[in-house]
Amino acid sequence: ADQSGKQTAPSQVFRRLNTLFPELPVEKAAAHARESSAPPRTYTLEPSLLAALTDSIPFTLTLSPSALEKYSRCPFSWLMERGVRLGERRIFGADGRSMGELYHEALLRFERGMSADGLPPSDPKSRWQSADEAEIAALASLAMSELRRTYDEGLFEAGPAERYRGDRMERALTGICVALARQVRETKPAEMRFEETFRDVPAARAGGTELRVSGRIDRYDILADGSAYVTDYKSGADRFRFDEIENGWRLQLMLYLAAVSERHAPAGAAYFRLFEPQVDLSGPNAPDTEEQIREALLRQYGADGFVIEKKTGGDANTDKNPGGPEGQPGGRNRTKTGEYRVTPEAYEALRADAEAVLTKIAADLASGDVAARPKESASPGVETACTWCRFRSVCGHDPDGPIYSQNE
């Protein structure tokens, strides 16, 4: 599979069957829910210990967006990772975490280099609007090559395997930066802010306990009308789904929007994935020329999220998507940069869903609830909080037991 989880090497058996019986439909077997009579494992923290673990003051709990998302997926996993801090022993070698950190830092250097002229990103004379692809590629290569020599004592120069990974990441970063510059030229923000820190933003209240959030936003753009658009860079396979906000599986984008909404009207939020895309050249409609292949690769960097429609009516920069992909309500429009368009009313409903999840988290945290209660993503059978959890051997949760919804 590629970095997005898409299958790149289908089974030879299925390939042969498809050749022999091209008209035969292929159906995915339905996932069967597993049943267990075992009750969930419950654990409770004393208030004083909870306050120490959450860096909180009386009647106020403060966590980061990623910690809140972790707690929403499984309270016990949050306790082990963010409270007790039982981390894996890191070895000297390139892994997903180190690659993600290198991508983020290199991209930050590239963004600062592009903004070094001091001009607004929307100014036609600014580097964001005027730089050609050769200049963008040179900036991206410079940012990555400098970091490769210094990151983690030269990890990505330590041996043939690490140098190979570093070379691939440097090539991928060029495509990422070209796609990012194209996005900025399309949206023309008045200002771009990078690695912006926020603290103690109210998120929810339950009884006498207030839940606050502190953290850092990869990037947010202030648009011409003063509204703010949040971008969260992801080096993993995260994909945006409305129903994963509604069930509490993904909360970060909504929390970042809540943070910038203290000073700006919200304009939207999206993931921008940092990865090396692939193009299937075996199909009948596969791109033929080098330029077509290149464009097909760059299209995969579309922003993955939503923008909030203005109340002025239609927009010439949208493409109809009447059916909507799985997990996304039908009838939504897409922008040229890839996001779904939502009405202000739909955004308020989405915000209310996220607030309901956060209110329950506040109540559960206030009671000291850190039960082994894993949740499932909005794609049934695809991922649960147990899928990549490092603490399955100590939580006591029955692996064949139930997976819980946000209301359980």
Return all residues near 331 (Cβ < 8 A) that are at least 6 apart: 322, 324
Residues in contact with 346: Cβ distance below 8 Å, sequence separation at least 6, in sequence order: none
CA–CA separation, 329 vs 183, rounded Å? Answer: 24
Residue 152: left (phi > 0), alpha (psi -120 to 50), or beta? left
- Nearest CA to 382 out of 245, 273, 249 is that of 249
Dist CA 70 CA 269 (whole Å): 20
Q: Is 225 exposed, middle or buried (0-12, 13-18, 19+ CB in 10 A)?
A: exposed
Q: What is the CA radius of gyration of the chain?
A: 23
Type of residue found at 297 = L
Burial of 306 (0-12, 13-18, 19+ CB in 10 A): buried
Per-residue pLDDT of the chain (408 residues; tens, 9 = 90+): 444 445 555 566 667 777 777 777 776 654 433 333 445 567 787 777 776 666 655 678 889 999 999 999 999 999 998 878 887 777 777 778 888 899 999 999 999 999 999 999 999 999 999 999 999 999 999 999 888 888 888 888 888 888 888 898 999 999 999 999 999 999 999 999 999 999 999 999 887 889 999 999 999 999 999 999 999 999 877 889 999 999 999 999 999 999 999 999 999 999 999 988 888 888 888 888 989 998 898 888 889 999 999 875 444 344 433 334 444 544 458 888 889 999 999 999 999 999 999 999 999 988 889 998 898 887 756 788 888 888 888 887 776 666 665 445
Nearest to 214 by CA among 84, 54, 7, 58: 54
Please report where in the chains the tokens 């989880």 appear, as a residue.
Answer: 5
d(CA 319, CA 341): 10
The C-alpha atoms of residue 147 and residue 81 are separated, in whole angstroms, by 28
99/89 Cα distance (integer angstroms): 17
- CB-CB contact of 378 with 403 (8 Å): no
Indicate the pTM of the whole model. 0.81
3-state secondary structure of 131: coil
Beta bridge partners of 384: 376
Kindly state the DSSP code that residue 34 receives in the 8-state scheme.
Answer: P
User: Distance (Å, rounded) from C-alpha 133 to C-alpha 277?
Assistant: 18
